[in-house]
Structure 1
């Protein structure tokens, strides 16, 4: 897992480059990524600049996502996952797996 400091306060965003297949795929992880302040300062900028297929998963209860329009305009798929909190993969693993598989299949 790679990481980079993304705010003057030292907040980090982490990502994994998934091997195999073209185009390259990246999984980005940031705690609290759907909070407006964190999203604007940390989560959105890397997603807007990457030139690979991207999908942003968020809890359905957090929709609408501030800045979702900018993500979509940059080609990022914004997907709401039901019945979960910010630990999507733990709170609703089946829905997370379906959303992730759909994102990988459409890339």
Structure 2
């Protein structure tokens, strides 16, 4: 386990690091998750093992600190991650990122281009979303005010999330979880999709085959984004079909 201070107050991002050759690979989890739980099997898969690999927990999540003074915007997450990567001596990383982590990775590549050489997004959020009371995921969390969520709304989210997601979501700070969800559904300006279209690095987007045609596929492929449908999986591609996911990531990083 490694760590770096990423705020003026000394709050620390932590990551599990596997030794290996450069370029480094950086794995970034989604909302309410933690990278070691979601990405270890991918990082050590025979098709992907051997590179220096950092399984990073974003601020407010997993093993990292959970400051209540941090805003948890996508830009804030990206800048904090950039600080941690620079402290780790990482440049030109191959970034593999899931869900909200994919949104953060897109912003990271746009704001800190020296840190990212390739981008593999796993069912990442590219567009703003509505706040939907009772929905699962970020839309449902963002439908609460922060006071409502912290004072008890989190229990309703826990019950909707189920045991699997809650097993990692419970590690996140309540303020961190709510603010991250709120800023995720709000998105960025330009949007994450618009940023992705213009990034000058190799980009791949993996999504569940069961979701059908990916929205905006033609525009993405025209801009150079490789789209790959992963069979037999839901949103958690790397957990539902780890072999197909690892193969797709390896192909994207060739």
TM-score, normalisation: structure 2: 0.31
* Aligned position for 1:60: 209
Report how far residue 28 of structure 1 moved.
Answer: 4.0
1:24 equivalent in structure 2: 117
Between structures 1 and 2, the one with greater helix share: 2
Deviations for 1:13-49, whole angstroms, at most 9, x for unmatched residues?
22277xxxxx811344665x38x765xx654222201
- Equivalent-residue separation in structure 2 for 1:37 and 1:62 (angstroms): 18
Distance 1:28 1:93, change over 3 A: same
Gaps of 5+ in 1: 6-10, 18-22
Cα distance in 2, alignment partners of residues 73 and 49 from structure 1: 11
3-state SS of 1:57 partner? strand
**Matches of 1:43 and 1:63 in 2, distance apart?**
21
**2:104 counterpart residue number:** 14
Change (3 A) 1:87 1:99: same
| 1:44 aligned residue | 193
- Does structure 2 conserve the Cα–Cα contact (< 8 Å) formed by 1:14 and 1:28? no
The match for 1:8 is: none
Q: Which runs of 5+ in 2 are unaligned?
A: 1-27, 29-57, 59-73, 77-99, 110-115, 130-186
User: RMSD in angstroms over aligned alpha carbons?
Assistant: 3.1
Q: Hey, what's the Cα distance between the residues in 2 that align with 1:77 and 1:27?
A: 9
Length, aligned pairs only: 91
User: Is the contact between residue 30 and residue 43 of structure 1 (CA under 8 Å) also seen in structure 2?
Assistant: no
Q: How big is the shift at 1:94? A: 0.7
Equivalent of residue 95 in structure 1, options 244, 249, 253: 244
The structure with the larger Rg is: 2
TM-score (norm 1): 0.67
